[in-house]
Amino acid sequence: MRILYGTTNQAKLDSMRRITKVLGIEIIGLKDVNQPLPHIEESGKNPLENAKMKAEAYYKAFSMPVFSCDSGLYFYNIEEALQPGTHIRRVNGKELTDEEMIEYYSGLAKSHGDRLIGRYRNAIYFILDDETRFSSMDESLATEPFMLVSKPHEKRVKGFPLDSISVDLASEKYYYDIEEKSVDQSAVLQGFKAFFEGCFQSLQKVHND
């Protein structure tokens, strides 16, 4: 099955391709469509509402199976005005680059005692056809709590800037210094894999019935 992933983020596209390959899914990104992209106002109150808006817009534009994801970053014990929520890259009306994100969030961590703890809530919305839709913002798609610190790691991965200032709570080591561990990967990706497995099991059950 060929499915459009509504993203231009190559790192996210590569990650999703790895975990869905075993399911027989061929995933393409928005750059592969090679058509003008619709303008989408991501005005949802949470990640799931934004994921739905994006998926519906891409499905209408390209008439093919599509899914979109969205994330919200939520910190513990921080004033509401500073909560990123779904606007992780957008600060004071400006869309931040990777390096600008590192600078802003490392400063935020410093202003909160260099122990700013939070986690990502992730959502997915999948449109197979006009009648068939699946969605989730399940806990299995959320990251474990982690800590942001003010001093960035020297390593950078394009598309995942905050990994450079993310520290594992248990070991207090940078994620990049822990083998095969990342704040955005591992268990979360398995959650997305389980989501698609559940979708296909539901479709198979309907077909058998």
CATH classification number, 2-208, choose in 3.40.50.11540, 3.40.50.1000, 3.40.50.300, 3.90.950.10: 3.90.950.10
Tally: H helices and E strands in the chain: 5, 9
Segments making up each domain of the chain, as ranges: 2-208
Residues contacting 40, CB < 8 A, separation 6+: 53, 54, 57
pLDDT tens per residue across all 209 residues of the chain: 899 999 998 888 998 999 898 998 999 999 999 899 999 988 899 999 999 999 999 999 999 999 999 999 999 989 998 999 999 998 988 999 999 999 999 999 999 999 899 999 999 999 999 999 999 999 999 988 999 999 999 999 888 899 999 999 989 999 899 875 555 556 788 899 999 999 999 998 877 76
Nearest by Cα to 82 from 169, 164, 148, 34: 148
Nearest by Cα to 176 from 189, 187, 190, 161: 161
β-pair partners for 148: 116, 166
Question: How many angstroms separate the first and last alpha carbons of the chain?
Answer: 21
The pLDDT value given to residue 11:
85
CA–CA gap between residue 50 and residue 122 (Å, rounded): 11
The pLDDT value given to residue 208:
77
CA–CA gap between residue 140 and residue 36 (Å, rounded): 34
The pLDDT value given to residue 206:
78
The pLDDT value given to residue 52:
97
Q: pTM of this prediction?
A: 0.81
The pLDDT value given to residue 181:
57
